[in-house]
Structure 1
Amino acid sequence: MTIRNDDDRRFADLLHHRSARLEQGDPITPPLVSAATYHLPRADVGGYVYGRTTMPTWDEVEAQMAVLEGAPCVSFPSGMAAISAALMAAVVPGRRVVLPSDGYYTVRLFAEQFLKGFGVPVDYVPTLAMGQADFTGAGIVYLETPSNPGLEVCDIAAVAARAHAAGAVVIVDNTTMTAVLQRPLDLGADLVVAADTKAPGGHSDVLFGHVAGRDAAVMARVRDWRKLSGAVPGSFEAWLVHRGMETLELRLSRMCASAQVVAERLAAHPKVRAVRYPGLPDDPSHAVTVRQARGFGFLIGMTLDSADQAEAFLAACPYLARATSFGATHSAGERRARWGDAVPEGFIRLSIGVEPVEALWDGIAEALAVV
């Protein structure tokens, strides 16, 4: 058997990760096991013990994710649960945490309301400045690249090398790209966090997240945090994400191809003031993305002249869900300044879905015509 490349093998293995364990008559898809308690006449012979420790359906989705990440994974009930677990597992008393000032704002809220309250120094650095930042005294360097929502990109390998030289652990939020398009662990990151609520789940019907890493001691702390904090996912949610993951590579292929078409057309449209998409050759993020990723993603940043124009566009487009999330089968749009992100008032984050691209573009063009 000849496999074209490692990515193809990984995507095929993801679909068949249960095969070697199947016995005669076993279901091909993992069963949904919702038990919280298990038959436990003895406590010294292994097996499932209690639902806060582990569940069969968690095991299945974590095994599936591990194929994609190339590393052990621990699942959580949301992306923020995964992020907070990674931070708490890696934080070092007295050593500062460096966070992106232009990344997902809830991470900054967690740092301000909890990490600082525990006496942990926190510094904020723009994504584009991470390559030159001073990491002296840092215990954690946290990256989000491309950043959400600005789509700024930093060189993960270069930043990780500098952070490690300063003795810091590198955590990368890979939600916007997923391990299909970008593998931060291969580029030097110590931990990857992601909100599987987005593209892996893919259908806007589940909250989920995971942490991946190759250092057994750090991952043991992540797993202990889940057990001791009780931040555990439900079995049904794990089952839904497992189902979504089986079409992830296929969905992303269409979403990214459509995003390229839409971004190019938006960039040429007279009513659009600015477009950010790493797949555009003149985008500031293009060169680094080419080096460290296998695609440009499905998120587009477009800027209209005003908040009123942006809201009118979103109201007029028939194929954009007005939702504060991304990565689903349906395309979505949101004016991000309403949450306080440091973007122009007319900035819209577009998440391109799996609609036929010409129909999607017709809807976007019709909406632009009325603003």
Structure 2
Amino acid sequence: MRFDTRLVHAGQPPTPGSADLVPPIHVATVYDRFGQPDRRYFYGRGENPTREALEECLAALEEVPYATTFASGQAAAAAVLSLLTPGQTLVCSDDVYGGTHALFDAAARSGVRVTPWDLSLPDAGERLGDAAMVWVESPTNPLLKVTDLAAAARAAHDRGALLVVDNTLAGPALQQPATLGADIVLHSTSKSLAGHLDVIGGALAYHDPDLHARLRDYRTTFGNVPSPFDCHQIHRGLKTLALRVARQCDSARLLAEALQDEPSVSALRYPGLASHPQHRVAERQMRRPGSLLSFVYAGDPEALMRRVRLFAPAVSLGGVRSLIECPALMTHRPVPRPTRLRLGIDDHLIRVSAGIEDPDDLVGDLLAAVRAGGSAAR
């Protein structure tokens, strides 16, 4: 089956005996050990049919045999970091989601050597040293750097390291890192996969059965499982992923093009623009350039976010509603300011997540808000 067909059909077989085209939500926490033919199910913290249906679909979308879902993207990321032991080295993208920064800080306190590096640079593969794990976000959040994933996989595997790719910003509709060599693909399923800003979840996808066993055992031990209802919500959202992402990418491109000549906008970042440093890499490994853009605004970020009507000033991304945020005030506020500035996260950086509203309405709303602030000196 092609990708759009897998979105609708994978993990959705009719329920035996009912011909039900929408599988039910299995809420049971315990199972009759003698009432099931294969006795596969034991306790809801370990096994659940609704959760497994979602995992089957996610694995199919990333073109791997295995996927494991978690209660949040943070929980999924923490599970990956559990594979490291004190003294080992983690080389990671320097520009990552604010919550990932916090997880890396916790890993460092437990004895893991965490080495941030700009993995979008052409010579990044030469800087991996003795890494046991290489963690790539591509595109990154919020600067939208793009890493050559195939090159990163070769460099990591030459050192015997695992390559982890956080695919949250792009999602499987735009890129499939496992097909480019990634060992583990990470998702916050709260974002574009669920798509409606109404559920929290995370997932990992991979080829290796040993990794699958280790990460499932970790989840069962620590209990960070998603609820059956959350899994059902995410699986329902997946059915419209391709349609939503196509509209969002169209709108993001129009927004980026409209902002290019605005005098109060600088450092505009969108992988679909020829001016983006990794534009060619994005063209090669992504089907579309994505639904996010960021820029530095010469005016007051808070005033800008108060002026927009259609963009909700809120964190998260990839949903049907368009969102706007200032990372320094919101998602990356816990990151120390000197670190933010060193990474290029300006106090006036604005990140926009395009939703599925009419593209012309979005462009008009954002341009009006940008222009109303003028080009006041920063």
Identify which of 214, 225, 230 aligns with 1:237.
Answer: 230
RMSD value, Cα: 1.8
Q: CA deviation at 1:18?
A: 4.6
Hey, what does 1:128 align to over in structure 2? 120
Q: CA deviation at 1:87?
A: 2.0
Distance 2:112 2:35 in 1: 42
TM-score for the superposition, normalised by structure 2: 0.91
Hey, what does 1:194 align to over in structure 2? 187
Equivalent positions of 1:138-153 (< 5 A) are 138-153=131-146
Instruction: Find out whether 1:336 has 2:327 as its counterpart.
Output: yes
Hey, what does 1:86 align to over in structure 2? 80
Hey, what does 1:77 align to over in structure 2? 71
Q: CA deviation at 1:32?
A: 1.1
Question: In 2 relative to 1, CA 20–329 (structure 1 residues): closer, same or farther, beyond 3 Å?
Answer: closer
Greater shift, 272-281 or 103-112, is seen at 103-112
Q: Which runs of 5+ in 2 are unaligned?
A: 374-378
Q: CA deviation at 1:370?
A: 1.4
Hey, what does 1:213 align to over in structure 2? 206
Residue type at the aligned position of 1:354: I
Q: CA deviation at 1:44?
A: 9.8
Identify which of 43, 50, 60 aligns with 1:50.
Answer: 43
Q: CA deviation at 1:147?
A: 0.6
Identify which of 350, 360, 366 aligns with 1:348.
Answer: 350
Identify which of 253, 259, 281 aligns with 1:266.
Answer: 259
Hey, what does 1:247 align to over in structure 2? 240
Distance 2:354 2:77 in 1: 25
Hey, what does 2:89 align to over in structure 1? 96
- Residue by residue, what CA displacement relative to the aligned partner does 1:9-51 show, whole Å, maximum 9, x if unpaired? 1221221225655545332112111111111248994232101
Residue type at the aligned position of 2:110: F
- Residue by residue, what CA displacement relative to the aligned partner does 1:173-229 show, whole Å, maximum 9, x if unpaired? 000000110111011110000101000111111000100000111111111110111
Residue type at the aligned position of 1:298: S
Instruction: Find out whether 1:183 has 2:176 as its counterpart.
Output: yes
TM-score for the superposition, normalised by structure 1: 0.92
Structure 1 runs of 4+ aligned residues shifted over 3 Å read: 18-24, 41-45
- Residue by residue, what CA displacement relative to the aligned partner does 1:275-317 show, whole Å, maximum 9, x if unpaired? 10000112112111011111100000021114x2x22111111
Distance 1:40 1:197 in 2: 33
Question: In 2 relative to 1, CA 127–136 (structure 1 residues): closer, same or farther, beyond 3 Å?
Answer: closer
Instruction: Find out whether 1:25 has 2:27 as its counterpart.
Output: no
The answer on whether the counterparts of 1:11 and 1:68 sit within 8 Å (CA) in structure 2 is: no
User: Structure 1 or 2: larger helix share?
Assistant: 1
The answer on whether the counterparts of 1:102 and 1:127 sit within 8 Å (CA) in structure 2 is: no
Alignment partner of 2:203: what SS? strand
Distance 2:244 2:35 in 1: 45
